[in-house]
Structure formats: structure tokens, C-alpha cells
């Protein structure tokens, strides 16, 4: 009997060493795909340097801890999260660095092997993360100060003012604001008087009113500064409102101070506060709405009439500033209603959704009518993903397409644009797609899309992976796929030009290398928090945590960010600004996990 135990123990140790070695080998293969300019020094050869030894020892330690866990439920959910991450790491590496996942049957089996190897480390890490959240939650709940007297109005005003003041040096350094991305096209619509619904009209008209005010004052820069200041006020108010929510929860002061510093001083927020993009105001109203959702569904707070008004108003404004937000709000609301007990409560939720939908529709219709805005790209925008997949097939494997399918394909996508196919960006394809043809032949378009997809399913899968890669791939992904946070020194180039001035030279000397020269990626540790992956995986962790804890009220809070992200997957590329609303609500999700289930 003792001999059998010794043999079993020996086999377990051998298996442990084998799994750890398998993990190191898998890392070596994936890191090898990334390559290394310092090959001479052994950087590329993962088995040649000390990191492989450190990783081997660390994985043995993690596997032992995971094996000894008594909580089967924790093991299961760490297995789910870790397996998902392992799959995406391997397929993401091949899609990004080889631009081909399905190389051969042999390579497919090798990829499965790499996934298993990664799993030997990533799965125990997910368990460690859940244990860390549990320990943090115990500390959080033990630190709640129930006897502390609250002064909510004073706290909100002081916090709002404090964050706004922290943004002023950036405003002065890049006065009157940072005009990048779509701002120049939106102002071009204002100057030319040819408004389009491609961008949210409410945002275009806000900038237009400021621009026209500047023209009346004799200096468009003076007018534009009012737009920037209003945006700074709204964004800082949203952050202050969340901090007020934390304050009323009476949680640890260190968390409140940390959140304040993160909102007030983290360069991503300071730069976005002065950047003329619809995503900033969308993020502000997203956070307002999320706090209302947390109060109503996580804490079961009894709302007064003005809280309902605030929730509906923030929901309407959220939908007005991002066209895709409407789908996320509606679907999340319906799912929340299904999960909520009681006919009366279900009716109130659905009624609120109807009000948000109607007010958003009426407001949009009024804005469109006021400036006679036209819709020129409804179909090609919404069909960005299938157009991108078809373009990939035509670009890489066009010679394998039958002449009939190819001829039909180029009636939707211009033949000259196929050569411009970019795996990470659908704009070169969908911007020039045949809108009239799509509108009149939508059924035939989907028939063609299905026919091509049945012949080349691998290319469609790879198209989706590369187009969304910047959102979720945790390893080195370069700067292209998410490099859209910057300060432009070129201006709008239309009408009366905006003149940028520097009234805060010391800050510009710090920020120019970070954002104009794009050095923020190279800042150790801090640079990682400029990547989409941190905030996307936070949502995944949050949702799995809610299932693990069976915290269905907290799960309701995570539905809107998750569904909003789902709409972003259908977008043209993995831009940080598209998910800035997820960035700003990350502290709320983390706090909800730490605070734990409310009985």
C-alpha cells in the first residue's frame, strides 16, 4: 500500500515537471513568432535565457497551489477563464504574426498543444486572481466605516472641482483643444452646411455651435475653447458622480483616493478630456448610467423621481453620442428585465427602455430635420465585418474564387480597393463600398457572403480575429492595432483655421513625447494601461466572477459593458477611443467585485 502511494506520488511529480516544461515550450514557440531584434543576445531563444528557468519554477509553484485547491467551483471557473485566454493567445499570435491560422493539419495539432501548455500557467493564474479578489473583498468589507457622517453635496462639488482643476494645465498647454480623428470631418460638415448622420449629430452640432460662436467673436479658437471646457466639465462631473457613489458606500478611503488620482492625473483621461471626439462624452454618460444601474439593481436602492429622470436622461444622451450604444442599452435592459423578479419591476424596466428608445429617436429625428442631415453610408457601415471578410478572400485567395462569385463580389467592393485590404482596419474597404448596391440587394449580398464563407471559412475567422485583435490579445501586439491616442499638431484645415497655443510649457514638454511622439507605450508598467486588453479582460473577469459567486444582481451591471463591447467587435478596427466608456467604468466593476453580494 505504501509502495503504491510512493509510486503515485512519484508519477504526480513527474507529471508536474512535464506540465511545467510543456508550458515553457509553448511560450517559446509563441514568443518565437513575435521575433526579437536582439537575437544575438539570445532574446528570441526562450530556452537559452534565464526567463525560461524562472517561468518553469513559477509554473511548478502555481500548479501545486492549483492542485491543492479544495474549492471545485473555483477550479472550474479558473479553467473556463484560463482556457479562453489560452485559445485567444495562440490564435491571436498566429493571426497577427503569420496572418494565417490554418496552415496545415500538423500545425493545427501543434496549436492545440500550445493552448494546453499555456493553460498550465494561465488557468492557475486565474484561480490566483479569484483568490486575490476574495481576499481584497474581505479587506474591503472589514474597512467599511458605517459610523462616518456623510456630506454628499460638499463632497461632490469639491471632487468635481478638484478633477477639473487637474485638467486645466492640459487645456492650457494644448489650447483650445485637441482636434483629431473625426473632428475635422464633422466641422467640415458644419462649414459646408452638408450635415451627415455618419457621426452623432448632437456632437457635430455642439462643436459647430462653438465654432460659429467664435466666428461671431472674431476668433474661432476662442469659440472652440468653450466646447472643450464644456466637455471637461461633463467628464469631470461623471467621475465626481462615481466618486460620490464610492463615498456613500463608505468603502476604504485609500480606494477613494486612488480612484480620484486615477481619474484626475492618469494621462489618458487628461488627454481625452480635451480631445474633440464623440467617444469622450459618450463615456461620461455611460458612467453616469452605469452608476444609476448599480444603485438600482446591485444595491436595490429606492429611487426618488429625480433619480429616475437622471437615469433616463443619461441613457438617452449615451445613445445620442454613440449610435451603437442604443443596441447595447436595449438588449441589456431586456435581459435585466428577464432576470428581475416581479411583474411590476419587469414592467418598470421595460417601460424605462421604451422611454429611452422614444426620446432618443425623437431627439435624433429633430436634429436631423433641423439641419437636413442625410444618411450616405448606413449599409456599408453596418456591414463592415462581412465586407472585410469578403475582401480578405478576394485579396489573398481571389484566384481560387469562381469567376461568377468574383464578378458579383466586385459589384459591392471596388476591384481597385481589394489591393488596399488591411487585416486590422476595414476603412479602406467599407468606406468605398457600393452603398446603392447594398441597399437594393441586401438579400443577394448575404447569399454571396454565405457562399464565399462556405468555401473559405478559415479566411472569415481570421478576418474577425485580426480585425478585433487589438481589443483582446495580451502579448506584444505592436502599436498599430490600438495606436489612436495622440495629440495632433496639424489642425482642422477648413474654413477659418483654429490656432493652437501653448500656455503651459512645462506640461507640453512632458506630454509631447508621450502623445505626439507616441512614447506612452514604452513607459514601463504604466504603458500597459493604455492598451484595450486591460479593460476588455476586466469585463470577462467580472462576468465570470459573478457566475462563480452566483451574484445575479452584480451580473446585471456587467451586461451593458459586455454588450457594448460586442457592438464594437462589428466596428472598423480595435480603437481605444471606441471602448473609452469601458475604461471609465472599470473602477465601478472592480469595486462591485470587492464589495461582494448584497443580501
Pick the last residue of a domain from 425, 455, 485: 455
Tally of domains in the chain: 2
Q: What is the pLDDT of residue 1?
A: 53
- DSSP H helical ranges for 35-104: 50-68, 72-97
Q: What is the pLDDT of residue 378?
A: 82
Q: What is the pLDDT of residue 588?
A: 97
pLDDT at 42 over 70: no
Give the other-Cβ count within 10 Å of 354's Cβ: 12
- Per-residue b or e along 179-196, where b marks 16 or more CB atoms closer than 10 Å to that residue's CB: bbbbbbebbbbbeeeebb
* In a domain? residue 215: no
- Per-residue b or e along 133-152, where b marks 16 or more CB atoms closer than 10 Å to that residue's CB: bbeebeebeeeeeeeeeeee
> What DSSP designation does 531 have?
S
pLDDT tens, residue by residue, 432-466:
888 889 988 899 999 999 999 999 999 999 999 98
* In a domain? residue 19: yes
Owning domain of residue 395 = 378-455
What's the pLDDT band for 40 if we cut at 50, 70, 90?
very low
* In a domain? residue 396: yes
Do the Cβ atoms of 124 and 66 come closer than 8 Å? yes
Pick the last residue of a domain from 455, 471, 500: 455
pLDDT tens, residue by residue, 83-99:
999 999 999 989 888 88
3-state helix, strand, coil in the chain (%, to 5): 75, 0, 25
Averaged pLDDT for residues 350-364: 95
pLDDT at 223 over 70: yes
Tell me the three cell numbers of residue 197.
Answer: 448622420
Average pLDDT over the chain, rounded to an integer? 89
* In a domain? residue 461: no
* In a domain? residue 480: no
- DSSP H helical ranges for 250-371: 253-265, 267-273, 278-293, 305-321, 325-339, 343-371
pLDDT at 331 over 60: yes
pLDDT at 39 over 80: no
Q: What is the pLDDT of residue 484?
A: 52
What's the pLDDT band for 136 if we cut at 50, 70, 90?
very high
* In a domain? residue 60: yes
Q: In this prediction, what percent of the chain has a pLDDT beyond 90?
A: 60
* In a domain? residue 135: yes
* In a domain? residue 410: yes
Pick the last residue of a domain from 455, 475, 493: 455
Amino acid at each position: 500500500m505504501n509502495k503504491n502511494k510512493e509510486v503515485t506520488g512519484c508519477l504526480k511529480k513527474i507529471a508536474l515537471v512535464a506540465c511545467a516544461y510543456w508550458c515553457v515550450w509553448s511560450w517559446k514557440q509563441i514568443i518565437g513568432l513575435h521575433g526579437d531584434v536582439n537575437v544575438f543576445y539570445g532574446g528570441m531563444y526562450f530556452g537559452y535565457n534565464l526567463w525560461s528557468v524562472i517561468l518553469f519554477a513559477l509554473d511548478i509553484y502555481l500548479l501545486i497551489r492549483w492542485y491543492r485547491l479544495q474549492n471545485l467551483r473555483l477550479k472550474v471557473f479558473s479553467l473556463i477563464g484560463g482556457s479562453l485566454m489560452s485559445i485567444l493567445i495562440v490564435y491571436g499570435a498566429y493571426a497577427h504574426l503569420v496572418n494565417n491560422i490554418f496552415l496545415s493539419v500538423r500545425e493545427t495539432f501543434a496549436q492545440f498543444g500550445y493552448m494546453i501548455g499555456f493553460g498550465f500557467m494561465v488557468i492557475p493564474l486565474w484561480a490566483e486572481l479569484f483568490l486575490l479578489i476574495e481576499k481584497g473583498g474581505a479587506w474591503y468589507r472589514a474597512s467599511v466605516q458605517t459610523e462616518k457622517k456623510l456630506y454628499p453635496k460638499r463632497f461632490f462639488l469639491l471632487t468635481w472641482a478638484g478633477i477639473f482643476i487637474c485638467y486645466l494645465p492640459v487645456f492650457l498647454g494644448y489650447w483650445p483643444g485637441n482636434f483629431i480623428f473625426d473632428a475635422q470631418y464633422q466641422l467640415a460638415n458644419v462649414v459646408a452646411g452638408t450635415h451627415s448622420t455618419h457621426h452623432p449629430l448632437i456632437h457635430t452640432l455642439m462643436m459647430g455651435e462653438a465654432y460659429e460662436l467664435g466666428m461671431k467673436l472674431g476668433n474661432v479658437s476662442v469659440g472652440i475653447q468653450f466646447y472643450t471646457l464644456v466637455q471637461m466639465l461633463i467628464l469631470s462631473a461623471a467621475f465626481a458622480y462615481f466618486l460620490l457613489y464610492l463615498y456613500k458606500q463608505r468603502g476604504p478611503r485609500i480606494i477613494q483616493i486612488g480612484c480620484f488620482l486615477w481619474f484626475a492625473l492618469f494621462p489618458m483621461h487628461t488627454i481625452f478630456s480635451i480631445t474633440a471626439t464623440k467617444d469622450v462624452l459618450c463615456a461620461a454618460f455611460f458612467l453616469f448610467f452605469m452608476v444609476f444601474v448599480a444603485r438600482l439593481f446591485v444595491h436595490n436602492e429606492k429611487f426618488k423621481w429625480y433619480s429616475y429622470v437622471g437615469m433616463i436622461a443619461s441613457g438617452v444622451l449615451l445613445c445620442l453620442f454613440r449610435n451603437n450604444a442604443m443596441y447595447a442599452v436595449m438588449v441589456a435592459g431586456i435581459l435585466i428585465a428577464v432576470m428581475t423578479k416581479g411583474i411590476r419591476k419587469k414592467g418598470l424596466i421595460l417601460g424605462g427602455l421604451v422611454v429611452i428608445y422614444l426620446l432618443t429617436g425623437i431627439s435624433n429625428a429633430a436634429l436631423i430635420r433641423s439641419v437636413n442631415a442625410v444618411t450616405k453610408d448606413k449599409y456599408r457601415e453596418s456591414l463592415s465585418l462581412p465586407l472585410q471578410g469578403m475582401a480578405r478572400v478576394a485579396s489573398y485567395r481571389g484566384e481560387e474564387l469562381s469567376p461568377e462569385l468574383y464578378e458579383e463580389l466586385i459589384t459591392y467592393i471596388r476591384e481597385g480597393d481589394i489591393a488596399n485590404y488591411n487585416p486590422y482596419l476595414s476603412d479602406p474597404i467599407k468606406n468605398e463600398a457600393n452603398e446603392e448596391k447594398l441597399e437594393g440587394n441586401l438579400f443577394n449580398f448575404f447569399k454571396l457572403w454565405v457562399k464565399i464563407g462556405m468555401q473559405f471559412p478559415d479566411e472569415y475567422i481570421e478576418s474577425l480575429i485580426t480585425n478585433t485583435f487589438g481589443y483582446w490579445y495580451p502579448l506584444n501586439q505592436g502599436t498599430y492595432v490600438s495606436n489612436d491616442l495622440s495629440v495632433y499638431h496639424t489642425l482642422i484645415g477648413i474654413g477659418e483655421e483654429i490656432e493652437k497655443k501653448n500656455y503651459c510649457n512645462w506640461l507640453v514638454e512632458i506630454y509631447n513625447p508621450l502623445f505626439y511622439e507616441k512614447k506612452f507605450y514604452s513607459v514601463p508598467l504604466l504603458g500597459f494601461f493604455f492598451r484595450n486588453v486591460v479593460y476588455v479582460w476586466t469585463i470577462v473577469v467580472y462576468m465570470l466572477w459573478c457566475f462563480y459567486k452566483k451574484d445575479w444582481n452584480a451580473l446585471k451591471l456587467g451586461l451593458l459593458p459586455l454588450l457594448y463591447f460586442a457592438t464594437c467587435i462589428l466596428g472598423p478596427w480595435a480603437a481605444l477611443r471606441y471602448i473609452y466608456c469601458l475604461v471609465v467604468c472599470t473602477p465601478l466593476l472592480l469595486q462591485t467585485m470587492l464589495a461582494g453580494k448584497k443580501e
